[in-house]
Amino acid sequence: MAGSERFRYTAERMMDRSQIEKISKALADETRLRIFEAISAREHMNCGEIVAMRGITPATVSHHLKVLQEAGLIGCRRQGQFVYSESRPERIEEYAQALAKMAGVKNSSSKRSR
């Protein structure tokens, strides 16, 4: 039953262990982390822009974008012939709050203000 344990981190949202694991695995890969960082630094990016920045093949970028999207870390939208990826910062906030809850942190905002 531990795999389905849910962590309440706000009054209305919960993240289960499988979602935490999926995000952790997505960010554990160095290339995916760099792609996520690049997308997060801009409003949005398309696959071609990521390929040009990172020097990796379009197929590899596409694979990494799929993993990031399945983890909920990015969203993708089609505009004409291009598919743009945008970061979902709220998902990172949810993930951070769930990890803080797992670690037994009572109020993570009070720790940041010190």
State the Cα–Cα distance between residues 79 and 113, nearest whole angstrom. 41
Would you kindly state where each structural domain of the chain is located, as residue ranges?
Answer: 14-104
89-113 pLDDT, tens digit each: 999 999 999 999 888 877 645 455 4
> Which token pair is 28?
């554990």
What are the pLDDT tens digits along the chain (114 aa)? Answer: 344 455 444 444 678 899 999 999 999 999 999 999 999 999 999 999 999 987 889 999 999 999 999 999 999 999 999 999 999 999 999 999 999 988 887 764 545 544
Residue partners of 64: CB distance under 8 A and separation at least 6: 29, 31, 32, 35
Question: Which pLDDT score, from 0 to 100, does residue 32 have?
Answer: 95
Secondary structure (3-state) at 48: helix
Q: Residue 23 is encoded by which pair of tokens?
A: 């995000």
CA distances for 83 relative to 13, 26, 66, angstroms: 29, 20, 12
CATH architecture of the domain with range 14-104:
Orthogonal Bundle (1.10)
Residue 32 C-alpha from the chain's centroid? 10
Predicted model pTM? 0.79
